[in-house]
Every structure is written in structure tokens, then in C-alpha cells.
Amino acid sequence: MNKKKAQKRIEELKNITAYHAKKYYDDDNPEISDFEYDMLMLELRNLEKEYPDLITSDSLTQHVGGTVKEGFEKVEHEVPLQSLQDIFDYEELYAFDERTKKALSSKNIDDEQITLDEVKQNSKLDLKYVVETKIDGLSVSLEYKNGIFVRGATRGNGLVGEDITDNLKTIKHIPKKLKEPIDITVRGEVFIGKKEFEQMNFEREENEEPLFANARNAAAGSLRQLDSSIAASRPLDIFIFNVQKCESINFKSHMESLLYLEKIGFNVNPVKVLCKNIPDVIKEIEKIGENRDDLTFGIDGAVVKVDDLNQRELLGTTYKTPKWAIAYKYPPEQKETLLKDIVFQVGRTGAITPMAILEPVKVAGSTISKTTLHNEDFIKEKDLRVGDIVLIQKAGDVIPEVVNVLKEKRTGKEIPFEMPKKCPVCGADAIREEGESAVRCIGIECPAKQFRNILHFASREAMNIKGLGDSIIEEFLNRNMISNIADLYNLKLEDIASLKKDGKKFAQNLIDSINESKNNEFYRLLNGLGIRHIGVKAAKQLAKKYKNIDTLQNASVDDLLQIDDMGEIMAQSIYDFFSQKQTKDLIQKLKNYGINMQEKENKNTDNRFEGMTFVLTGGLENYSRKDAEEIIENFGGKTSSSVSKKTTYVLAGEDSGSKLQKAQNLGITIINEQQFIEMIK
């Protein structure tokens, strides 16, 4: 490649790698695999090596990716948290060894240790390496004063990171107090284990939340949250792999420092092997590669470090990377297999997910026979067809995924894919709403959705059936005591009592609560039916306008759009829901059990807030947010979650946020809690 073409390609690569580095480091939402990113960086590094005069400071080869996220305090690292240069074959490893020996040969080494001639001849040069697993997580520094954990930070750009002390304190393997009262700063990698990551994504899939692309980004996203309760709810772990600063102990070797860290209470990287030469290093790298599937944590390579700390000092660092360490990256293992079929899985919320049924193939240590195909768009983008030969790999060594279709191997017998128009479980309509990737079953009696439907129906803001929690519902369904919402009203005292030892009192309380729910306000039933996009507020509006279930069932989309704040998606969702035969059958069953299906007469004639819209922000001392909203609505007013020119009042409590600022900018009247109390007297 001539210089002109090289310059153009370097500029392209700088822009591409900068974009993907931001997605990886700052957004924790990568769009390409680690391997693809590594290959882009390798190409950039090789071009810059060939044309060093084209190297500029904005190239990612010259600095660490990552910035300080807004909202976190900045932390300047006393010792930079550098990144490692990646290599991809053993030839590069031998080249690293040769560079290291040459560099040590050129240093002015004290004669008491070894003479310069002896170094050059390598006759007495004792150059050992430590090989460790390269943990796939988020790098952090931990500071201890007198043995007490005082501060933790992300790597950031290597020089300045984010103060995430509160989030790190939620990780059980970070000791709050060391076994010795020492001042020390260490570096470690926060990660999520393989099984824990699989469980997290399983739960997110059940709740129809976006899946994490890999364990590294799940860990990074958890730590870079301003709310530490999010970090506390995630299965975060850590391995420590380096002493950054410790003035009271003069360690002679890296291995010595790691053993000391274990002694004083740190959870140190469990894979650390001292090697005498590069052939031994290669054996350990191969051993790690062979056993990586048995590790409980994900890795993306092996790290090779000079063990002698004096030699490290002599070797020094570049701006971005140390000269005494290097990272060997394993290529992802990919296998070809047959896409035998595409079947459909219906989740508890009705999302219909296409699943690939594969000819079983062993990838990265485990046999893969099926994997998710995510959604309709994913399949169309890759042009997947039943009968295709596809390429499979494990994302982050954990999740099997279809990487590509080998179209050159098609025979013409492959069958194009189509999403179902009806739910494969219950036969109700399967609908994809505008702006969404998921196709959903809207059948209220779909067996796949019953657990979620019943749990929502019984919830506090719906029918408020006390004592009917998730474990009891699971038990009812498993024992075939119920199969839909209406069956709750046919439960017998003795059947419920049989679930628990001495369960008569529990059974009687639950029966009483179920019977009480028959007389609930009409809006609670509408909310409990779980109509998509319809929550408490919309349910109240529907109950107020249509007065009873029969009138509502006959409402057209155009009629529904006349309601304030009712958009087309909401209106269409309501219409589609009440058009289903399953819905009509269920409502008839509920009528037969005597459930209230009409708006009760409102005895309150005080509509002092009629025509007014309130926005609540911050915490109130005397009311919960829900109670305050109910008071406003009982006086004929409306509440909204966002401030606009239509807002009448903003009720601001403690720690009010951006809504208060926006109200001030728009000139909206702002009231405090005391003023609100005066208004409702």
C-alpha cells in the first residue's frame, strides 16, 4: 500500500476504532465482537508502524480508550492504569522476548548485580515471566489507608478515572479492612461469572429487558451507575492482579507481591504461573486455552509479565502500554453446522422469540443444539433460512450465537423465514407494534403468559389480592388448581390450606382478599387485565369515560383517541385486546363470578383541581408519590410525569431534579409540600 492510500486508511481506522471504543468503554454497549475490534486495532498499528510519520495523538494506539462519565467525581491515578499491547501469534511472543532482552542489555546495570557483557551474552540474565489469565471485565484501582478501603476508581483514560467507591463496596470479595494496617493501592478486574451471567440474562429475557451482549459489558454497566443499588443487585466479583503503589514494602518480584496480596485478604487472580523462558510461557498459554471452558469466569486472553520488578523499572513504559508485559489474545472458536429448524418460544409477557434448532456441534467446550435468533429483524438482516449452513460461536465464551450464513453452500432447498401471525401456543393474534422489534401474543388466556398475567392481576395497583405472591401462583399453576385469572374466584378453602402446614388461617385470609377484590373500583380491573401500554392512569381515564366494560368493549379506535393523552398505539392496543375471543370469554367468566365492571358513583363533588395538571418531583415528607397523585385526581386534577407548557403546577420535594429546572425555565408555578397542604385543606 502506498503512503497516500495508507493515510486514507489510517484516518478511516481512527474514526472506526474511536466509535467502537466509545460504544465499548463509555456506553458499555458494543456493536462488534472483541475479536473484530482487535483486528481493526492490529491493522491500524501495523500501518502506523510502516508509516510512523502518520501517527497522530488522536489515534487509539497512542492512548487508552474511555472517558469519565458525567455525574462521577474524577480521580487522578497516582500510577497510570495502562492497557496492554495485544498479540495474536507465538512469533510475536518471541519478538517480545527478544525486545525485552535487548532492552535490558542496553541498560546501565549495576556491576554488583551483573555486568553489561554478561547481560548481552544472556549467560547470567535471569529473565522470568508470570503468565496469568486476562480477565474479561472492567479494570479498577482500590486504595487502602491503614488497611481500610477508602476509594475505588475506574481506569477511565488511564490517567483519570471515575470515583465508584460506593458501587465497589457492594462487592463481597473487596475487603473493607485488610489483615494488616498498610497503605496500598492495587489494581483488579471486576467481572461477572459465567453461570451468574447466564442467570442474569435468563431473568432479563423473562422480563423482556434487553439482554447484555457479554459479561464484560454487564459488569461495566453495573459499576458505572450513579445508583449503587444497581451494582448491589448484580453478581459482581473481582480478581486483583497488581500492586500499583506500596511504599512500605520493597517487593522484588511480581509473584512475591501477588502472594502477599492473598495473605492480607485480597481475592487474587487464581491463574498465575512463573515461567523460566518463552517455551514454558507458550505451554502455559496453550494450557489456559485448553482449560478456558472449565473456568468459572470469562477470559479474553493470557497476560505475560516480566516477574522481576527491578527489570520492569529498567524496561519502563510508553505513554499507553508497559514494555514489560503483553497480552496474547485467543481467536474465537467458530464451527459450521446445519440450521435444521426455526421454532418459537413464547415468554411470560407474550414476546414470541425465534429459536434456531441446530445440528449439534461442539463449540468452546460445550455442545450447542439450539440458540436464540433474537427477533424478526435479526433473521432478515442475516437472511437466515431453514436448511442453511451457518457459522456458530460463543459470544464472550458464554452465549452461543449465529455469526453468519454460508450462502455459497446453499442448494436451493432452503426455506425462507416468516414470523407467525398467530401465537404458536394459544392461537391468538401475534402483533408487532410500530417502533418495536418484538412480536407479541395478545391473548389474555395464553398458557405461556398465565403466571405473569395472574401476578399482575393480583398486584397492589390492580386487584390488590393480599397473600397471592409469585410462589403461591406458581404452586397453583403447577398443581393445575388454576389455569387463568377467572379461576382465582373458584378456589376452595381446603385446596389452598393443603399448600401449607396449618394453612387454614392463610387460606381463609386469601379467600377473604379474593372475595373483597370483587367490589374493587372499575379502574383496578382494567389495570389488572394487563392491556399493553395501559397502566393505572390510563385505566382511570377509561373507567371515567366509558363507565362500564360493555361500553368500553365496543369503543372504536377513533372513539378512544378522543381521550386526553391517548395516543394511536395505546388506542390500537385497547381495541385489539377487546377484539380477541379470549378476552370476551374471560370477561364473561369474571362477570359470572360477580366482579364489579362499572364505575362507581363518585360522591366527591369537590373538583377544585379540574383542568389542572400537576408534575411531582423529589421526595415529600407527609405523602408518598402515589398518595399525592390520588389526592390530586380525587379533586379532579391530572398528574403527568413530564413538565411542559401545559403543566399548571410543579410540586417540588426534597432533592428535586431536572424537572424543577425545566419548570423554572418555562416559568411554571412551583409549589412546595406546605403550599400543597394548604391547597387541599
Q: Which residues form the catalytic set?
A: 134
Query: How far is the CA of 139 from the CAs of 135, 157, 424, in angstroms?
Result: 9, 11, 45
* Distance of alpha carbon 402 from alpha carbon 383, whole angstroms: 12
What residues have CB less than 8 Å from 311, skipping those under 6 apart?
104, 127, 324
Distance between CA atoms of 400 and 380, rounded to whole angstroms? 19
| Euclidean distance between CA atoms 333 and 362, whole angstroms | 10
> In whole angstroms, what is the distance from residue 169 CA to residue 161 CA?
17
Residue with cell 486483583: 240
Q: 3-state SS of 511-546?
A: HHHHHHHHHCCHHHHHHHCCCCCCCHHHHHHHHHHH
Measured from the Cβ of residue 288, the count of other Cβ atoms closer than 10 Å reads: 21
Output DSSP code: residue 212: P
d(CA 426, CA 350): 11
Q: Enumerate the H helices of 344-479 as residue ranges.
A: 376-382, 450-458, 470-478
Distances (CA, A) of 150 to 69, 82, 147, 247, 264: 21, 22, 9, 17, 16
Compute CA 225 distance to the chain's CA centroid, rounded to the nearest angstrom: 11
> What are the backbone dihedrals phi and psi of residue 341, each rounded to the nearest 5 degrees, phi first?
-165, 165
346 - beta bridge partners? 352
Three-state DSSP class for 70? coil
| Residue whose C-alpha cell is 447484555 | 212
Q: Residue 448 and residue 424: Cα distance in Å, rounded? A: 10
> Using an 8 Å Cβ cutoff, are 432 and 415 in contact?
no
For residues 670 and 664, the answer to whether their CB atoms sit within 8 Å is yes
Q: Report the C-alpha gap between 402 and 525 in whole angstroms.
A: 43
CA distances from 440 to 66, 423, 426, 449 (A): 38, 8, 12, 11
Outline where 209-351 has alpha helix (H).
215-223, 228-232, 254-263, 278-291, 309-315
d(CA 485, CA 483): 7
Cα–Cα distance for residue pair 681/676, rounded to 1 Å: 9
| Residue 432 exposure: Cα atoms within 13 Å on the Cβ side | 14
- Which residue type is seen at 554? N
- Which residues pair with residue 617 across a beta bridge? 652
Strand runs labelled E in 534-619: 613-617
Gyration radius from the chain CA atoms: 31
